[in-house]
Copies of this chain bind each other. A is one copy, B any other.
Amino acid sequence: MNEQANRSLEALKNTASGETVASALSLAIHEHRLAPGTKLGEDEVAEIFGVSRTVVRAALQALAHHQLVDIRRNRGAFVAQPSLREAREVFEARELLEPRTAKSAAMRATPDDIDLLKRHIVDEHAALDAADQGRALRLSGLFHIEIARIADQATIAGFIEALIARSSLIIALYWRRESALCESFAHHALVGAISEGNSQRAEELMRSHLVDLHSALDLRDRPNPPRSLRDALRP
């Protein structure tokens, strides 16, 4: 390890607490830098962040409660691999919660809220132009979370946040390469409806946006299509 790398690790060391580790891992999962099934060894993570296993364990348990990682007793923590069934359930839940949330958001959004949403879309475009798919996906999720926040229902927003986190794993596992990731249009239209205060239209746009997303997944009965081979190989 060279001097510079050592120094940057040292910098992390000073700031890294339990929450830091959890959000860093969470971000890596959201941006598809950590693939489903990857083992997260405690010692390994502890050394990377320069903290003890105690805090790593707490972070991993927090992620496990959000169902982002799967902890198997005496086996360790792995990035979760949602089953087909879970994938369907997550999107059904989103289709139940988010349209209504978008409707509320359209009724409550302030000009500041709308500016924020527009900035999100700009960032998303920038990430796509930079071919940074991971960041684009993360920003796309943040867009949905922002709408839930605007709807001013913290409890439901929390559920939606958890669903979006799992959606990121589901997309990593079941996304069809054929379908393009050009959701920006849908997001743009949504912001339009929200800024006009057209709640009915916002609700309908969100519903169809989620149906589009859902149908861009390959959720046919075939357990873990691309995973079973790698599973036998890696962990």
Contact = CB atoms under 8 A, between A and B. Distances in A.
Interface stretch (A4-12, A85-93, A203-211): A85-93
Q: Is the interface of A mostly helix, strand, loop or mixed?
A: helix
A84 to B, nearest CB: 13
Contacts of A58: 57-58, 61
Interface in A55-88: 57-58, 61-62, 65-66, 86
The copy count of this chain in the complex is: 2
A171 to B, nearest CB: 16
A100 interface: yes
Contacts of A65: 62, 65-66
Contacts of A228: none
Contacts of A163: 155
Nearest to A91: B155
A24 B142 CA distance: 36
B62 A92 contact: no
Nearest to A97: B96
A97 B163 CA distance: 15
Interface residues of A, number: 20
A97 B159 CA distance: 12
A51 to B, nearest CB: 15
A155 B86 contact: yes
A189 interface: no
A96 B156 contact: yes
Given A96-B100, A100-B96, A155 B89 contact: yes
A144 to B, nearest CB: 16
Interface of A: 57-58, 61-62, 65-66, 86, 89-90, 92-93, 96-97, 100, 153-156, 159, 163
